[in-house]
């Protein structure tokens, strides 16, 4: 999805959130920010091919009382 697709969708119906695999599209991020549209990453924490901060995810897991793997996954 890109900024043009968001604009097209907004012409059809209200858009409250966009879920997208790529976050490097500044046009999309600006479009979402200006319109008050939530931008949600496609991958769960650490699932998008980016290096995961294992220390941070461990702290989140401990706070949630979960395993590190469970804290990274929406399922």
Do β-strands 38-41 and 17-20 pair in parallel, antiparallel, or remain unpaired? parallel
**Residue 55 phi/psi, 5° resolution?**
-65, -45
Angle in degrees, CA 71, 72, 73, rounded to 5: 95
Q: What percent of the chain has pLDDT over 90?
A: 16
20-39 residue pLDDT tens: 776 567 888 888 889 999 98
């Amino acid at each position: 999805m890109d900024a043009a697709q968001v604009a097209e969708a907004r012409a059809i119906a209200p858009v409250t959130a966009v879920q997208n695999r790529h976050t490097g599209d500044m046009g999309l991020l600006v479009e979402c920010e200006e319109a008050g549209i939530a931008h949600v990453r496609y991958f769960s924490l650490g699932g998008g091919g980016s290096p995961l901060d294992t220390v941070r995810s461990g702290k989140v897991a401990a706070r949630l009382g979960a395993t590190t793997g469970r804290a990274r996954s929406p399922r």
